[in-house]
């Protein structure tokens, strides 16, 4: 009989992951003007929440690892939706959510939706930057760099790295997904 899942251990792991995600957001914001820090934090929090919510689309692990992974990812997603994580960035999260709904409603399921989300996040950060006085705006392509860094950080912190994500995309479900020649 398998051992029961230690909920306190899962909660502690989820708390640590959320702290690491917020630390990553702060790190990515260090090169940008301080006025952009909340927008960068909003992008990082929203992306991390979306990655954690992908738990239903990952290939199952053997038990008890699957229950543990699902429990941790569920708790991470829940914590990222609540205070104190969202304090001070609620309007930015709402604005980002509105942009996402128009562009990427089914981001885990639809090919190309993740690329659309990346483009949406870049446009969101560029819009925030455009509101600053010209002398305070970051260099061109700063948003591209920040979003790419956030994606890499979040996937690594949550445990869904690029290799794992590609493997999942190719071999999820009962049928092998046909990969177009350009993606190989």
pLDDT at residue 26 in the model: 93
User: Exposed, middle or buried by CB within 10 Å (0-12, 13-18, 19+), for 7?
Assistant: exposed
The whole-angstrom separation of Cα 106 and Cα 112 is 10
Per 3-state DSSP, what percentage of the chain is helix, strand, and coil (rounded to 5)? 70, 0, 30
At 91, phi and psi to the nearest 5?
-65, -35
Pick from 24, 17, 34, 19: nearest CA to 148: 24
pLDDT at residue 146 in the model: 93
Give residues with Cβ within 8 angstroms of 100, minimum separation 6.
46, 107, 117, 120
pLDDT at residue 98 in the model: 82
Extract the tokens encoding 22: 């917020």
**Three-state DSSP class for residue 7:** helix
pLDDT at residue 176 in the model: 44
pLDDT at residue 182 in the model: 54
What sign has the CA pseudo-torsion 110, 106, 95, 33?
Answer: negative
pLDDT at residue 103 in the model: 54
DSSP 67-119: HHHHHHHHHHHHHHHSTTTSTTTHHHHHHHHHHHHHH-TTTTTSTTHHHHHHH
pLDDT tens across the length of the chain (184 residues): 556 778 899 999 999 999 999 999 999 999 899 999 999 999 999 988 887 877 656 667 788 888 888 888 889 989 999 988 999 999 999 998 888 765 555 555 555 777 788 888 999 999 999 999 999 999 888 999 999 999 888 888 877 654 455 445 554 444 444 445 554 4
């Amino acid at each position: 009989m398998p051992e029961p899942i230690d909920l306190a251990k899962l909660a502690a792991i989820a708390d640590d992951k959320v702290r690491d995600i917020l630390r990553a957001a702060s790190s990515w914001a260090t090169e940008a003007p301080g006025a952009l820090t909340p927008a960068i934090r909003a992008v990082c929090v929203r992306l991390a929440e979306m990655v954690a919510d992908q738990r239903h689309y990952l290939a199952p692990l053997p038990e008890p690892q699957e229950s543990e992974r699902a429990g941790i990812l569920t708790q991470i997603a829940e914590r990222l939706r609540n205070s104190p994580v969202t304090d001070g960035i609620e309007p930015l999260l709402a604005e980002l959510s509105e942009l996402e709904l128009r562009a990427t409603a089914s981001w885990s399921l639809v090919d190309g939706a993740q690329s659309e989300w990346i483009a949406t996040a870049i446009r969101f950060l560029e819009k925030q930057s455009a509101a600053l006085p010209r002398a305070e705006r970051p260099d061109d392509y700063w948003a591209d760099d920040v979003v790419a860094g956030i994606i890499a950080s979040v996937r690594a912190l949550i445990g869904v790295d690029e290799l794992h994500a590609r493997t999942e995309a190719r071999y999820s479900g009962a049928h092998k997904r046909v990969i177009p020649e350009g993606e190989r």
